[in-house]
Amino acid sequence: MLSDFSEKIQGLFRKFRGYGKLTDKEINEICRDIRLVFLESDIALSAAKKIVEEIKTRLNGLEFTTETSPGTLVSNVVREELVNLLGKPGNIDFSDKPSVIMMVGIQGSGKTTTSAKIANYFATKENKKPILVGADVRRPAAQLQLEKLAQSIKVPFFTDKDPFLAFEGALKLAKANGNDLVIIDTAGRTHVDEELLNELKLLNDRFQPKNNILVIDSMMGQEATKVAKSFFETIPLTGAILTKFDGDARGGAAFSLREVTGVPLVFLGVGEKIQNLEKFDPTRVVNRIIGMGDIEGLMEKVSDIKIDINKKPPQEIEKWNFDTFLDSLRQVRKMGPLEDLLSMIPGFSNIKQMKDMVPDEKQMKRIEAVMLSMTAKERKKPEIIDASRKRRISKGSGTTIQEVNQLLKQYEMFKKMFKSKNLKKGMKLPNFPVGRI
Amino acid sequence: MFLFDKVKEALTRTRRVFSSVVGMENIDWDEILEKFLLVDVGSDVATEIVKDAKKRWLNAAPIEIALRDAIEDFLPEGKPQLFFTEERPCVWLLIGVNGSGKTTTCAKLAKYSIEEFKASPILVAADTFRAAAIDQLKIWGERLNLDVISQKENSDPAAVVFDGLKASKGRKKSPIIIDTAGRLHTKDNLMEELKKIERVIGKEIEGEPSEVLLVLDASTGYNAVKQAEVFGQSLKVTGIILTKLDSSAKGGYVLNISKKFNIPVKFIGVGEGIEDLVPFDKTQYAEGLIP
């Protein structure tokens, strides 16, 4: 996420880590560098200017003591100012019965997918009863796309031949069926298309949805603020969602949106799967950029996956075998790519070499394949695996004998490691340390 | 000329950014540089172009001519063309990040091939991931009266491509225009999937795909350069199609891509209609940028 931006920022901090006391000249130099990084990260000119001024004022007023290094002080200031710039997260207003969310934005920003993600979010996390409405009658198969997504998350779907009829019909249906959240997916329109913007205005005037949400692609450049402005001038926007936040865009849009239009961010789209929608939290976003990790996000992921209590790994090392390993491996994989999880651990993104040590999805699959090619007996008692069994396992899993050997070796090492530590009763065992095989 | 007007119209919003430059009494080069940054030209290339323009201006060229020529000379010579031959079925593969406009562009390219080469194109729906992407392409197929090869959603895209090639050869259709699923360039596994598709095509028809077209959204910022880099590392990208140029001011990053990776812009999308795909012309582009 925003890896390009965070690399630049972190590089900046490394540069003046060694500084002692900061002189005026050095402060100016730092501020110039920061401004350049911001501008190159697609942050709007006005927003970049403003935040750099703030940072400069605060740096000038800093007292440098021997306890804290200037590097830490500066990064604290930058972090706080970035958090300020992002602003407080917005909310969805549920005061209407049913409450309505109208999704707007330009073509290809991700409105349809995000509509379904929001329905899924509120249905699973806040027990809402959403209905998805396909009001995009322009793009071929757009309604069908939403209908299919609705089916996949078991949410009702409604559409009609024009957006006004769809809107009206959906409201009636929601009232009749007790749906408390109506999500309207509108057609993509450019921010310079007067005719279509006018249609949006008419929709808003007639139905007055409490939530008008602008969907914006986080890869968008300097254009993002203009888009936001022209939509904002057409209808009262209540919030924004940045999509494709899992790419390596510089995310300038995120940092200038609030500053330029005052529209708060509500959610972030962080992946292709329907559950990849995150509540926007400025501190967490900035911490990930500065390389401070996102422990909260990690905990959320852990609590999100439903861990099967019966499959909890046994506390006693004696009871560990490949069956338990397989279970824990699958539990971890449920949380998503390992790389994403590790980037949430503080300090981890700073260690470049660590990236190469993390097994990717493909390797995880190979490890899983090796374990699955063992017989039930072999998984319970790995000691019985001899040369001929190894040959069979490697053939069955499409791996080499060396790979099978390595996994067995790692298993032995793991057991030894924890035996030698004399684990106390009740101490939680970590998951199987899956290395590169 | 009709096409020219359309391009010019599409770029009007970009031009507005530069309009204050023309007729400037005291030329502020820093301000000009900043303007380039505001149309998403990266700072290194912007600096280079401004430097070149300054040289021309000192040689008594009017400022707008100096800027236009600097931009034009920066882009590669010659008119970019799509490869098409009647000797073998040609494959045009479209790739890009989510929402850049691949499916619509497939249809536009099919129409273009009919008009330009009197060809008989066929569409292959290899975006098996996005819900209803196949249906979207099928609707275009119906409108244009073209065959669309497809399988069920979530089937293996490489298998769809393989079937598509077989069927197209049987039906004597060419070019074979393949729509792929949008993918962020940061997803290694999805980039591998694309490589597999490219391999399947090469195995089935030697020398193909003759065109691997990267579809880029004009409103994207500097990240587009990253996209060109990573897609270019995975596949042999032969050209860029710049979409949604009617909607936004941008597309300045194509100058950076051209310099860094030597990938030419072949087409620009200037509207939602099937005809709204225009071959890229650097003179028009430069003239569209600077009034």
Q: Which of A42, A361, A362 sits opposite B222 (nearest CB)?
A: A42
CATH number at A99-292: 3.40.50.300
Using 50, 70 and 90 to split pLDDT, how confident is the model at A233? very high
- On whether residue B263 sits in a domain, the answer given is yes
Q: For A383-429, what is each residue's pLDDT tens digit?
A: 888 889 999 998 988 888 888 888 888 788 777 766 655 444 444 44
DSSP 8-state assignment for residue B263: P
Q: For A221-232, what is each residue's pLDDT tens digit?
A: 878 888 888 999
Q: Measure the CA–CA gap between A408 and A413, rounded to whole angstroms.
A: 9
The reply to whether A40 touches chain B by the CB within 8 Å rule is yes
Using 50, 70 and 90 to split pLDDT, how confident is the model at A16? low
Q: For A334-380, what is each residue's pLDDT tens digit?
A: 666 666 666 666 555 555 445 555 566 677 788 888 888 899 888 88
pLDDT of residue A425: 46
Using 50, 70 and 90 to split pLDDT, how confident is the model at A12? confident
Q: Read off the CATH number of the domain in which B228 is found.
A: 3.40.50.300
- On whether residue B50 sits in a domain, the answer given is no
Supply A393's token pair.
């396992």
pLDDT of residue A248: 73
Min Cα–Cα distance to chain B from A274, Å: 11
Q: CB of A367 within 8 A of CB of A437?
A: yes
Q: Measure the CA–CA gap between A339 and A360, rounded to whole angstroms.
A: 7
The reply to whether A249 touches chain B by the CB within 8 Å rule is yes
Supply A431's token pair.
């998951």
Rounded to the nearest 5°, which phi and psi values hold at A339?
-60, -40
Among chain A residues, the shortest Cα distance to B101 is held by A108
- On whether residue B259 sits in a domain, the answer given is yes
Q: CB of A355 within 8 A of CB of A339?
A: yes
Span of A110-119, A192-201, A309-318 with lowest mean pLDDT: A309-318
- On whether residue B198 sits in a domain, the answer given is yes
Beta bridge partners of A211: A101
- On whether residue B74 sits in a domain, the answer given is no
- On whether residue B222 sits in a domain, the answer given is yes
Q: Which of B97, B246, B250 sits opposite A223 (nearest CB)?
A: B250
Residue from A38, A222, A260 whose CB has the most chain B CBs within 10 Å, to mutate: A222
Min Cα–Cα distance to chain B from A314, Å: 33
Contacts of A107 in chain B (CB under 8 A): 99, 101, 244, 247, 272
The reply to whether B145 touches chain A by the CB within 8 Å rule is no
pLDDT of residue A336: 65
Compute CA A330 distance to the chain's CA centroid, rounded to the nearest angstrom.
Answer: 21
Alpha helices, H only, A178-318:
194-207, 223-234, 252-261, 282-290, 295-304
Q: Provide the number of structural domains found in chain B.
A: 1
CB contact under 8 A, B248 and A249: no
Min Cα–Cα distance to chain B from A323, Å: 27
- On whether residue B98 sits in a domain, the answer given is yes
Q: Measure the CA–CA gap between B186 and A219, rounded to whole angstroms.
A: 13
- A418: amino acid identity, one letter: F
pTM comes to: 0.76
What residue segments make up the domains of chain A, in order of their start? Answer: 3-85, 99-292, 309-420
Residue from B143, B244, B248 whose CB has the most chain A CBs within 10 Å, to mutate: B248
Strands A157-159 and A99-104: unpaired
Among chain B residues, the shortest Cα distance to A271 is held by B184
pLDDT of residue A293: 55
CB contact under 8 A, A247 and B97: yes
pLDDT of residue A431: 46
Among chain B residues, the shortest Cα distance to A340 is held by B187
Q: For B187-219, what is each residue's pLDDT tens digit?
A: 888 999 999 999 999 999 999 999 999 999 988
Q: Measure the CA–CA gap between A103 and A114, rounded to whole angstroms.
A: 9
CATH number at A309-420: 1.10.260.30
pLDDT of residue A312: 56
- On whether residue B80 sits in a domain, the answer given is no
**Domain A3-85 sits in which CATH superfamily?**
SRP54, nucleotide-binding domain (1.20.120.140)
Contacts of A247 in chain B (CB under 8 A): 97, 184-186, 223
Q: For B235-290, what is each residue's pLDDT tens digit?
A: 999 999 999 887 655 688 899 998 899 999 999 998 888 889 999 988 888 877 76
What DSSP string describes A254-274?
A: HHHHHHHH-PPEEEEE-SSST
Q: For A18-57, what is each residue's pLDDT tens digit?
A: 666 778 888 888 888 888 777 777 788 888 888 889 888 8
Among chain A residues, the shortest Cα distance to B100 is held by A108
Among chain B residues, the shortest Cα distance to A109 is held by B99
